Chain A
Amino acid sequence: MAGEGGSTLPGGVPSGQRRGRSGPQFGPDFLLPSTVLVSGITGAVGRRLTRALHRHCRVLGVDHRAFPERPKDVEHREVDIRRKRAREVFRGADVRAVVHLGVLHDSHDRSSDLHARNLLGFQQLLDCVRQYRVPKVVLVSSANVYGPRSDNPQFLTEEAPLLGAAASEHARDLVSLDMVAQSFFWKHADTETVILRPAHVLGTVENAPSNYLRLAVVPTLLGFDPMVQVVHQDDVVRAILLSLRPGVRGIFNLAGPPPAALSRVLRILERKTLPVPHTLARLGAERLWRWRMSAVPAPDLDFIRYVCMVDDARARRVLGYQPDFDLVETLRAVDAERWI
């Protein structure tokens, strides 16, 4: 199914030995699709995916932001994926795979606009996938779709219900997108649809868990110390590469190194902690969020209260995924300089 013009990489190094500190310099050892379209290419994961791909196949980028530092052989369109112009990227390009990383987050933008942008944009992208008969589409969702809950099993499998939106309306875009991708999976059997649900992605990314761990004084909830799972951004990039393999389809949870208690995570990072009683923290978070002084909505406190961990046995079995970074390396990645 892979593109005819794709290049095979000689001597793919087995996982576990590529400890390249200079970014994801690895490539997969199978035939890559000849042309890959990455939507949301300017994010941290998008950039690193581009670096891993662009020497081995043609990479097209679509994002509403500019990408001036892109490698020369990457074609980038600075366009909102809801626009008609975004469709032109597909025309005559013979796109063989689409990777969607462009889930927009802005917890303060409560208007239905963001929700619509996320859903319509993805819908539009899937329309193009169908129209141009793209054989592969990959959505990078998140383990947050399951939601942190007191009655969660310690490890959630891919079959667990997506209850993330029940408490927090901010997870609702994520859950909706995941659902849209699932229905696409069932309706269009000729396209291989892959949904990746990584645990908390750490690294140079500007996401909530990385930002939380970057705080000089980290607030925690007094008396709560859940186990947490983290995964390095480059491990996510490798999982995306693995999911581009022809024949791979379905939903895959991604976890990184073995889970650790939040207190241990903060000890490894040598952070000062500030334990706050839960009721106070919730009140404070609500106020601060309403006054736009924090980017963390109150329901998200549950992430440092309850478990939301995934079982990634399927990804290990079917994708051959295995995290390359151990716990300490993954955690330290949040402090790495953001040069890529």
Chain B
Amino acid sequence: MARLRDVAAQDVLPLAQRVMRRARQGVDDARLRVLGGDFEERVRFLRARYRDRGGDPFGLDPEAAKYAVMVCAFFHRLYFRTEVHGIENVPAGRVLVVANHSGQLPIDAAIIGTSLFLDAQPPRVTRAMVEKWTQTLPFVSTFYNRVGQVVGVPENCLRLLEMDELILAFPEGSRGVCKPFSQRYQLEEFGSGFMRLALQSGAPIVPVAVIGAEEQYVNLGNLRWAARALGMPAFPVIPQLAIPGGQLPLPTKYRLYFGEPLRFAANPEDDDASLERKVWVVRQTVQAMINQGLTEREGVFF
């Protein structure tokens, strides 16, 4: 019995302590690698920003956003190993970030948001517009509000821009997300709502090309009849979902290209036809950045 106690005290305890220390160090290393050394500083900066304004009227809670970013950072830094280019192009103050939308699930939005939180200087909270029906879902509605997402109505977007926030918009809408694999990196038509809001608020538009998201789920095509029967915006056929583990997106390499801000001046009350030309300019800019990014990359997964 005494021997046993000796062994426990002399060998097992130090060993356990060493393992614990090593594990803690490993966690710290991983944390540093995933979140970067200045993560706490960034959180503090944003906390102060929203506290100084007497809280965010849309329900953003920097503490909740912090945990969401910690989860997304794993995907951003380790899973998709995102390469970020030109993030210094994002100006301070109000700005409308316009990107191509793809990938069946809006992971591209989460990665852009995480990148603006972890890589931009100073850190920015990305506010995106979510579907109205998400507000009817318990937990989901609360989660979205806490991390700064708001109901997608133009009034909210304009109000946020006037509060000098950063808005992420996907003018392709849900047509972009459910694009089949054969149409990857070909932009759908852009809606013109974002342009009207940019003109109304005087916010510059930062075009963003997301490379890598379009291959994360291989969608062979959309079944229109199934979508109609189920009342969904689209019913994609994704064979990988049938394979165990295939539910996760493929670990493609993400590349984000932030372009130089575009500034437009015109009467926001103009009819759609005159806005179309400006929308076309933005769409062409994003498409050109996508094409450039595609020629530069050497592989989908590395």
Do A and B bind? Answer: yes
Query: Whole-angstrom distance between the alpha carbons of A151 and B151 in the complex?
Result: 7
* Distance between Cα atoms of A224 and B143 in the complex (Å): 9
CB contact under 8 A between A152 and B151, given known A258-B55, A277-B138: yes
Q: Is the CB of B136 within 8 A of A150?
A: yes
* Segment touching A, from B23-31, B153-161, B228-236: B153-161
Q: Is the interface of A mostly helix, strand, loop or mixed?
A: loop
Shortest Cβ distance from A88 into chain B, in angstroms? 48
Q: For the complex, give the distance between the alpha carbons of A309 and B132 in Å.
A: 16
Q: How many chain A residues touch the partner (CB < 8 A)?
A: 22
Given A153-B156, A154-B156, A260-B55, check contact A223 B135 (CB 8 Å).
Answer: no
Q: Is the CB of A154 within 8 A of B133?
A: no
Given A150-B133, A151-B151, A227-B145, A222-B54 contact (CB < 8 Å)? no
A258-B54 in contact (CB<8A): yes
Q: Which of B57, B61, B139, B142 contacts A154 (CB 8 A)?
A: B57
Q: 8 Å CB contacts to A: which residues of B191-246? A: none
Determine whether A186 belongs to the interface, using a CB cutoff of 8 Å to chain B: no
Enumerate chain A residues within 8 angstroms of B153, measured Cβ to Cβ.
151, 153
Q: Contact between B55 and A222 (Cβ–Cβ < 8 Å)?
A: no
Q: Mark A137-167, 1 if CB is under 8 A from B, else 0.
A: 0000000000000111111010000000000
- Who on chain A is nearest to B140 by CB? A223
B58 on interface, CB distance cutoff 8 Å? yes
Closest to A153 in B: B155
Indicate whether A154 sits within 8 Å of B55 (C-beta atoms), given known contacts A222-B138, A223-B141, A306-B135.
Answer: no
Interface flag for B59 (CB, 8 Å): yes
Looking at A151, A306, A309, the one whose CB has the most chain B CB atoms below 10 A away is A151
**Contacts between the two chains (Cβ within 8 Å), count:** 58
Per-position 1/0 for B49-75, Cβ under 8 A of A = 000001101110100000000000000
Give the CA-CA distance A68 to B152 in the complex, in Å: 52
Q: B102-137: contact bitstring with A at CB < 8 Å (1 yes, 0 no)?
A: 000000000000000000000000000000110111
A-chain residues with CB within 8 Å of residue B169 when the two chains form the complex: none
Inter-chain contacts of A155 with B (CB < 8 A)? 57, 155, 159
**CB of A221 closer than 8 Å to a CB of B:** yes
Expressed in whole angstroms, the minimum distance between the Cβ of B156 and any Cβ of chain A is 5
A227-B142 in contact given A150-B133, A153-B153 (Cβ < 8 Å): no
Residue B150 is within 8 A (CB to CB) of chain A in the complex: yes
Q: How near does chain A come to B8, taking the closest CB pair, in angstroms?
A: 46
Please give me the 7 A-B residue pairs with the lowest Cβ-Cβ distance, nearest first: A223-B138, A153-B155, A223-B139, A150-B135, A151-B132, A225-B142, A153-B153
Q: Name A's B-contacting residues (CB within 8 A).
A: 150-155, 157, 221-227, 258-261, 277-278, 306, 309
Could you show 24 A-B contacts with beta carbons less than 8 Å apart? A150-B132, A150-B151, A151-B135, A151-B151, A153-B153, A153-B159, A154-B57, A154-B58, A154-B150, A154-B155, A154-B159, A155-B155, A223-B139, A223-B141, A226-B145, A227-B59, A227-B145, A258-B55, A259-B57, A261-B59, A261-B61, A261-B145, A277-B138, A278-B138
